[in-house]
Amino acid sequence: MILYDALFALVKREKRPLPSAFVANPDRTGAALHENMTLTLPDVERIAHLARIEISAAEAVDVRAKLDAIFAMINELASIDTAGIVPMSHAQDMTMPLRDDRVTETDQRARFQQAAPAVEDGLYLVPRVVE
């Protein structure tokens, strides 16, 4: 996830265009990623540098393979036609039980302010932190 965030940091910081794989494709319903999204080893090394992660060449190859697998899974999900499907807020149709909205505690403000080191006009006074 850090490498994924670093990719977008790279795009924003260096004012580079977003890779075409991340640009919405209006020709396909529900598709947001290009089918052949892959990263090169220099891309992975640059992203790792931005994320301040030190990785070896062997680890970069492994990370690249894992990121390619993630992009493939995202592309597979993005290719599903979701037109006409209503978004759900929960996987099950249920509501949370609610309690009555009533006061259950008594007002103890005066008691709490008696224990405070400094109070003025009903407000707690605290030391200045920033001058």
Q: How many domains, the chain? A: 1
Q: Could you tell me if residue 111 is inside a domain?
A: no
pLDDT digits (tens, 9 = 90+) for 44-90: 999 899 999 999 999 999 999 888 888 888 888 888 888 888 888 77
Q: How does the average pLDDT of the chain come out, rounded?
A: 78
Q: Could you tell me if residue 38 is inside a domain?
A: yes
Residues 6 or more apart from 71 whose CB is under 8 A from it? 21, 33, 37, 38
| Chain centroid, CA 88 distance in Å | 20
Confidence (pTM): 0.43
pLDDT confidence tier of residue 29, bands split at 50, 70 and 90: very low
DSSP string computed for 67-101: HHHHHHHHHHHHTS--TTPPP-SSSS---------
Q: Could you tell me if residue 131 is inside a domain?
A: no
Reduced to 3 states (helix: H, G, I; strand: E, B; else coil), residue 120 is strand
- Is the separation of the CB atoms in 126 and 116 below 8 Å? no
Q: Could you tell me if residue 115 is inside a domain?
A: no
Q: Could you tell me if residue 109 is inside a domain?
A: no
Q: Could you tell me if residue 65 is inside a domain?
A: yes
Which one-letter DSSP state was computed for residue 29?
Answer: T
Radius of gyration of the chain, Cα coordinates, nearest whole angstrom: 26
Q: Could you tell me if residue 29 is inside a domain?
A: yes
Q: Could you give the CA distance from residue 124 to residue 120 in angstroms, rounded to a whole number?
A: 7
Q: Could you tell me if residue 114 is inside a domain?
A: no
pLDDT confidence tier of residue 24, bands split at 50, 70 and 90: very low
At 17, which helix (H) or strand (E)? Answer: none
At 57, which helix (H) or strand (E)? Answer: helix 57-78
Instruction: Name the residue range of residue 23's domain.
Output: 2-78
